[in-house]
Amino acid sequence: MSMPLFSGRAAAGGGPTSEPSALLQLEGVRWVIDRGLPSERTVLGGIDLTIREGERVGIAGRSGSGKTTLVTILAGLLDPSAGRLLFRGRRVESADERPFRSEIGFVFQEPESAFFEETVLDDVAFAVRNAGFAPDEARVRATAALRAVGLDPAAFGPRLPESLSGGEARRAGIAGALVLTPRFVFFDEPTAGLDAEGIARFRALLATLRAAGTGYALISHELPLLAAECERILVLAGGRIAWDGPAHALAAGAPPGWPPEVSAPADALLEIAHGLRERGLLDPAVPATPEALAAVLAEKRFGNGSHSGAG
């Protein structure tokens, strides 16, 4: 999947050997629902978090643990009940502040619910127009964004957003998030409802973002996906960050300190992968995704004389 929007862009942050600079920070962030009512509930309680330039973060946790609330606050789409959000060390007072608004992208779990223009092209171009670009520039950028996510602008640009299939709507939503070439993109359950081809397209897009130095955060229940596509994993439980560590720590199952109230990360897949690695059938560098394990098991059953993609 080509990404002309991101071609040639240098990664921000420190030099090749320095630690990337902080992009987003939360300090003492709390979020309370139904404040002052009998149903009052703390969704997030005292979150301190730093996300750095170009970082690739996976966010896991049980339903209702506060994952979506966390990233919505990080993206500036929701004000915290207490605490503050900082962008490159400066407090964000409004999500409309620039460059914050143009450098942070967000893809909703149900992108079709966020469409409001009459055509797909106009909807993707909205952020560019809203940033003050001329209409012609907005169309050029929107056309490139649609092409980047595998939607032919000539075929899909004039269509009504509500006429798109689920997978097409997801890709159009991603195009709208990428049209301003953000430095960091949040994806809420990006592979939910996608078929194998759609997941492959999405992972190819992530590879392009990585190559451009663009950071991202994925909310997903698919721990193998997070382990394969992210370098850092956060687990939310009880409104707090219960585990924060490197993705490679998941390679052999639940690592030390993994919160007991959260299901271990894809135990069955990880156990199978561990057994295959012990037998020399799976390269340690290959993530324990369903696709990788299926490939090595099919090879074992049918025998083609090579472990190529799996080991």
Residue 148 phi/psi, 5° resolution? Answer: -65, -30
pLDDT at 95: 65
Is the same domain home to 300 and 180? Answer: no
Kindly state the DSSP code that residue 163 receives in the 8-state scheme. Answer: G
Q: What sign does the dihedral 261-60-164-200 (CA atoms) show?
A: negative
227 is a domain residue: yes
Q: What is the mean pLDDT of residues 242-257?
A: 83
User: In sequence order, what E strands does the chain have?
Assistant: 22-33, 41-52, 56-61, 82-87, 90-91, 104-107, 184-188, 215-219, 232-237, 240-246
Query: Residue 45 sits in a domain of what CATH number?
Result: 3.40.50.300
Is the same domain home to 217 and 276? Answer: no
| Token reading at 55 | 């970082």
pLDDT at 270: 62
In the chain, the number of structural domains is: 2
Nearest one of 241, 189, 181, 233 to 208, comparing CA atoms? 181
Is the same domain home to 196 and 227? Answer: yes
Evaluate whether 202 touches 150 at the Cβ level (below 8 Å).
no
State which of 202, 225, 250 marks the end of a domain.
250
pLDDT at 8: 45
5 is a domain residue: no
pLDDT tens digits, residue range 156-202? 999 999 999 888 888 899 999 999 999 999 999 988 877 888 888 89
Residues labelled as active-site residues: 189
Confidence of residue 246 (pLDDT cuts 50, 70, 90): very high
Evaluate whether 192 touches 219 at the Cβ level (below 8 Å).
no
Is the same domain home to 218 and 288? Answer: no
Confidence of residue 154 (pLDDT cuts 50, 70, 90): very high
C-alpha 34, offset from chain centre = 28
Q: Are strands 215-219 and 184-188 parallel, antiparallel or unpaired?
A: parallel
Mean pLDDT value across the chain: 83
State which of 250, 277, 300 marks the end of a domain.
250
Domain membership of residue 177 as a residue range:
20-250
Q: Is the confidence at residue 306, as pLDDT, over 50?
A: no
Confidence of residue 276 (pLDDT cuts 50, 70, 90): confident
Is the same domain home to 227 and 281? Answer: no
Is the same domain home to 29 and 150? Answer: yes
pLDDT at 23: 95
Is the same domain home to 156 and 287? Answer: no
pLDDT at 251: 72
How many C-beta atoms surround the C-beta of residue 95 within 10 A?
A: 15
pLDDT tens digits, residue range 9-43? 544 555 555 678 999 999 999 999 988 889 899 99
